[in-house]
Amino acid sequence: MSGTTDFWTLAVIAGLACVTVLTRCFFFILDRPWGLPEWAHRALHYAPAAALAGVIAPEIVMTQGHLITTLHDARLYAAVVGAAYYYWRRGVLGTMLAGMAVYLPLHLGLGW
């Protein structure tokens, strides 16, 4: 079930660890104070949400590289319910549980 370990993946993982350090410490790695250029500052408003949405949208509406053509797909309803729960109550845990409560019966019960 689980794949094989390869060096490339481990190298990417090490790179991602560096990204974590770089982003979490961005403004206090150097001793000298400094700021971001104006355009980068403005991009910060939109880039994080855009990056994540760009990653997850294909995970929800595509199968094997193609847009799904049926509404009989548990992922659609789970994502909508999860998002609705988030705006209602907040919290990652609740969103996950609410979404899975919709996903699992549809996926396992109806085979969607």
Partner 1 sequence: MFFSAAIRRRPEFRAGIRDMSSAALGIGAWGLMTGVAMVKSNMSVLESVAMTLLVYAGSSQLAAIPLLFAGAPAWVILATGFCVNLRFVVFSLHLRPYLMHMPRWRRMTHGYLTADLSYALFTRRYASPPVGADEQKAQEAYLTGNYFVTWCSWMGMSLLGIALANFIPQNWGLGFAGVLSLVAIVCSMATTPLRVLAALIASVTAVAAYALPLKLNIVVAIGAAVLLCFWLEKQFGLDPDAEDNK
**Which of residues 5 and 70 has its CB atom nearest to partner 1 in the complex?**
5
Q: Which helix (H) or strand (E) holds 12?
A: helix 7-24
Minimum separation from the CB atom of position 13 to partner 1 (A):
5
Residue from 70, 71, 93, 109 touching partner 1 (CB under 8 A): that is 93
Residue 38 to residue 107: CA distance in whole angstroms: 47
DSSP label of 50? H
Which string of x and - marks every residue 22-41 that binds partner 1 (by CB under 8 A)? xxxxxxxx-x-x--x--x-x
Q: Is 105 in the site for partner 1 (CB under 8 A)?
A: no
DSSP label of 111? -
Q: Is 73 in the site for partner 1 (CB under 8 A)?
A: no
Instruction: Assess contact for 71 and 96: CB atoms under 8 A.
Output: no
